[in-house]
């Protein structure tokens, strides 16, 4: 969760869809109808909400299947895509109103490349935007219960939240000793809301996934559930921050806030307030491109270190989780969603990057198979499926002069087209659950670099962190 701005951004840059996805494009931008202070906390109330959604979506899908029998192929596909988008709108509106685990699950799924049709992911990405804040009187009661020494510790606390998300919101405050802090307060009954949502949403989303794709849902759901349950424990997040601070201590470019332990509990997280330029301002013309390039390199190296060196990845790449400073450094917030990277998975991704750098396309299917990515029948992925993705990455890492993200829309157009094609062809692929949040993070990184229009020595950095030695 950011501690610098009330505006959240999606993590993926999307091109205007073609005819089959025009409905998705039209509904990406209007604001979602979300109540400011209606917080449905009872398990029954949330069950009714999700159950009603499931009923509406189910009827829609059955109607589509029946109507499809009367249409030819192209028309049937067009109507299918439009219906998927309409149902994604229904899901987005409902989950956006609910906060808690419902909204968070939608956010997580929207950023997993290849899991859902691109049209559906585009609509779900609306959930990345800022949630409405809960009135301060409700949050202050939660704060006083969670921190018994509140009146002793705090000099003041701003009643206006300057960031609000799925599970909690952030208020700026001042401690008695004069330190400025950011205080993240969990919503009342957030634990109950999340656990009810996890129970209700599994059946709904599993059924919907079965309509969209044959991709195995259980590993994905297991990973989403694990990360979401971890985010409920702010003491766990505080430990993540401490651990990441130690890892990044000797790494230039990244600032990790310091936790105030005496003002932290399972439901409240207090950190030093780190000043920074909000993302919306950072990407404006107010700052020189050379500075934006520095920020982009810092984000790139931060992700590479997490994946390959520390094997402890900040897996919430929402652009609003970063603040930018005029010395070229980047402050990183929200450590609730962290991913431990198994050694074999890190080695696999390093092998993939090495193969891309060296133009060893033939090695890619075998590396993926060793990582646990293969067809249902155990066979390697075909070169026809992997080569186009390799070509795209090579355009980035082998460009001379160095590649500029966001400068040429052709990359994002090609990525979108590949997403459309791959989703249709990838329904019989199996993959380990460990890659779910890694891929989410990499997609988010590319999107963030595009917002900054960053240019950098990407190949050199990849070789540094993946140990891809020799001529390339």
Mean pLDDT of the chain: 76
pLDDT at 335: 95
Tokens 């993705």 appear where?
389
How many secondary structure helices (H) and strands (E) does the chain include?
Answer: 18, 12
Contact (CB, 8 A) for 145 and 139: no
**217-231, 286-300, 433-447: which has the minimum mean pLDDT?**
217-231
- Give the mean pLDDT of 132-155: 92
> What is the spatial distance between Cα 115 and Cα 423, in angstroms, rounded to a whole number?
8
pLDDT at 353: 94
pLDDT at 430: 83
- 410's enclosing H/E stretch is helix 409-425
pLDDT above 80 (res 122) = no
> What is the spatial distance between Cα 6 and Cα 409, in angstroms, rounded to a whole number?
28
Percent of the chain with pLDDT over 90: 45
Q: Is 186 helix (H, G, I), strand (E, B) or coil?
A: strand
Predicted confidence band of residue 106 (pLDDT cuts 50, 70, 90) = low
Contact (CB, 8 A) for 20 and 77: yes
> What is the spatial distance between Cα 100 and Cα 190, in angstroms, rounded to a whole number?
6
> What is the spatial distance between Cα 81 and Cα 55, in angstroms, rounded to a whole number?
19
Largest pairwise CA distance in the chain: 73
pLDDT at 13: 30
- Could you tell me which residues come within 8 angstroms of residue 105 by beta carbon, excluding any fewer than 6 positions away? 95, 197, 198, 201, 205, 224, 228
Question: Torsions phi, psi of 228, nearest 5?
Answer: -70, -40
Contact (CB, 8 A) for 372 and 342: no
Question: Which residues partner with 184 through β-bridges?
Answer: 170, 269
Predicted confidence band of residue 462 (pLDDT cuts 50, 70, 90) = very high
Tokens of 373: 């990515």
- Give the mean pLDDT of 433-461: 91
Q: What is the pLDDT of residues 291-317, one digit of tens each?
A: 999 999 999 999 999 999 999 999 988
Task: Identify the burial level of 149 via C-beta atoms within 10 angstroms of its C-beta, where 0-12 means exposed, 13-18 middle and 19 or more buried.
Answer: exposed
- Please give the residue that has the higher pLDDT: either 93 or 415: 415
Helices marked H in 233-380 — which ranges? Answer: 234-247, 279-282, 289-304, 343-357, 364-371
Tokens of 110: 């929207």
pLDDT above 80 (res 244) = yes
- Give the mean pLDDT of 199-205: 68
Tokens of 331: 């402050």
Among 346, 319, 277, 331, residue whose Cα is nearest residue 405: 319
Predicted confidence band of residue 341 (pLDDT cuts 50, 70, 90) = very high
Q: What is the pLDDT of residues 370-392, one digit of tens each?
A: 999 998 889 999 998 899 889 98
Question: What residue segments make up the domains of the chain, in order of their start?
Answer: 19-128+190-214
Contact (CB, 8 A) for 440 and 112: yes
Sign of CA pseudo-dihedral 352, 355, 361, 367: negative
pLDDT at 204: 66
To the question of pTM greater than 0.85 for the whole model, the response is no
The span from the first CA to the last CA of the chain, in angstroms, equals 39
Question: Torsions phi, psi of 292, nearest 5?
Answer: -65, -35
Predicted confidence band of residue 54 (pLDDT cuts 50, 70, 90) = very low
């Amino acid at each position: 969760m950011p501690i610098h701005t009330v505006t959240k951004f999606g993590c993926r840059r999307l091109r205007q869809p073609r005819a089959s996805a025009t409905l998705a494009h039209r509904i990406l931008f209007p604001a979602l109808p979300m109540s400011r202070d209606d917080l449905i906390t009872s398990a029954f109330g949330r069950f009714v909400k999700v159950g009603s959604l499931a009923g509406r979506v189910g009827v829609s899908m059955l109607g589509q299947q029946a109507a499809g029998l009367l249409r030819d192929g192209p028309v049937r596909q067009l109507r299918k895509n439009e219906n998927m988008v309409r149902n994604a709108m229904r899901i987005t509106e409902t989950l956006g109103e609910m906060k808690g685990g419902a909204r968070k699950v939608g956010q997580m799924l929207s950023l997993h490349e290849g899991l859902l049709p691109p049209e559906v992911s585009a609509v779900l990405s609306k959930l990345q935007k800022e949630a409405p804040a809960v009135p301060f009187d409700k949050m202050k009661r939660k704060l006083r219960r969670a921190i018994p020494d509140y009146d002793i510790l705090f000099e003041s606390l701003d009643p206006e939240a300057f960031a609000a998300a799925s599970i909690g919101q952030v208020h700026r405050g001042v401690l008695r000793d004069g330190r400025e802090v950011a205080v993240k307060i969990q919503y009342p009954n957030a634990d109950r809301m999340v656990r009810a949502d996890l129970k209700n949403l599994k059946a709904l989303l599993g059924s919907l996934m079965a309509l969209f794709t044959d991709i195995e849902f259980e590993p994905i759901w297991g990973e989403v559930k694990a990360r979401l349950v971890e985010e409920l424990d702010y003491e766990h997040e505080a430990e993540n921050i401490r651990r990441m601070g130690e890892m990044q201590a000797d790494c230039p470019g990244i600032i990790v806030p310091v936790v105030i332990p005496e003002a932290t509990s399972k439901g409240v997280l207090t950190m030093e307030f780190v000043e920074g330029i909000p993302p919306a301002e950072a990407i404006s013309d107010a700052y020189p491109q050379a500075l934006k390039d520095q920020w982009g390199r810092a984000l790139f190296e931060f992700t590479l270190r997490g994946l390959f060196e520390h094997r402890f990845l900040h897996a919430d790449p929402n652009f609003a989780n970063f603040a930018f400073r005029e010395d070229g450094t980047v402050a990183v917030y929200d450590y609730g969603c962290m991913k431990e990277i198994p050694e074999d998975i890190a080695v696999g991704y390093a092998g993939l990057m090495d193969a891309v750098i060296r133009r060893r396309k033939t090695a890619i299917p075998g590396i993926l198979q060793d990582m646990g990515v293969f067809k249902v029948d155990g066979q390697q992925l075909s070169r026809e499926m992997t080569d186009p993705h390799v070509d795209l990455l090579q355009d980035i890492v082998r460009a001379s002069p160095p590649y500029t993200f966001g400068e040429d829309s052709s990359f994002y157009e090609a990525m979108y087209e590949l997403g459309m094609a791959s989703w249709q062809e990838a329904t019989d692929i199996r993959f380990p659950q460990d890659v779910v949040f890694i891929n989410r993070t990499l997609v988010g990184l590319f999107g963030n670099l595009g917002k900054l229009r960053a240019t950098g020595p990407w190949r050199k950095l990849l070789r540094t962190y993946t140990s891809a030695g020799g001529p390339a």
